[in-house]
Structure 1
Amino acid sequence: MALGVFNSQGKSSLSGSTSFDHSSIEEQEPPPPLRSYLCLTIFTCFCPAHPVNIVALVFSIMSRNSYYDGDYDGSRRLGKNALYVAIASIIIGLLVVAITCIVHFTTMDF
């Protein structure tokens, strides 16, 4: 999908060439940068908090789809949700690893 689509209101002349208004192209703002945090959410899939990781990944993919559909506010909102859920997933994963290590090493028989 092309993001740089412009609205050309071309008028064909007798010679077959089209002319369009260059001022309408220059007035359009470029889209804001994409913040879907896809790499972070893929990284969190390796943390042992699997239901939360999948939610973060789904939010990230939904953010990318909203961005490519032209809904930049929805994309920004879903990207923030993906970031917050990914951070929660990392924290939960670290807690699970820490609790597992503590339980494993304190219940060992010497």
Structure 2
Amino acid sequence: MALGVLPPAEKSSPGETECLDSSSTQEVEPPLRSYLLLSMFSCLCPAYPVNIVALVFSLMSRSSYYNGDYDGSLRLGKNALYVAMASIIIGLLIIAIICVLHFMPMYH
């Protein structure tokens, strides 16, 4: 091949625009699923060690996503979802038990 001669696939005229498939040239980012709002909502429940773990998982998921580790972000996001849901269920059970004990009549 001589200097200054481009291969046929790389030649294009100045007025011609090439239509490239964006999926073949760039990696498509999956949507961010860190469940940060759910984790923050679970912090209102009285299951404190569990809901703080959910918040940490959610923040780690966001950090992994922005660093380009999409598989790790997905895994940590699922962990954040499961721990946040467990925290909400545990918190509701604690509230129900406290309400039952508080409003139960005491017989002496």
TM-score range, shorter chain: 0.7 to 0.9
> What TM-score do you get using the length of structure 1 for normalisation?
0.74
Cα deviation for residue 29 of structure 1 reads: 2.7
Name the structure 1 match of 2:16: none
Name the structure 2 match of 1:76: 74
Higher Rg of the two aligned structures: 2
Name the structure 2 match of 1:36: 34
Distance 1:108 1:53 in 2: 33
Cα deviation for residue 27 of structure 1 reads: 1.3
**CA-atom RMSD in angstroms:** 2.0
Cα deviation for residue 58 of structure 1 reads: 0.1
- Is 2:85 aligned against 1:97? no
Runs of 5+ in structure 2 lacking a partner?
1-18
1:14-69 per-position Cα deviation (integer Å, ceiling 9, x unaligned): xxxxxxxx969761132000000000000110001010010000000000000000
Runs of 5+ in structure 1 lacking a partner?
1-21
Indicate the SS of the match to 2:77. Answer: helix
Name the structure 2 match of 1:3: none
Distance 1:100 1:59 in 2: 29
Indicate the SS of the match to 1:52. Answer: helix
Name the structure 1 match of 2:6: none
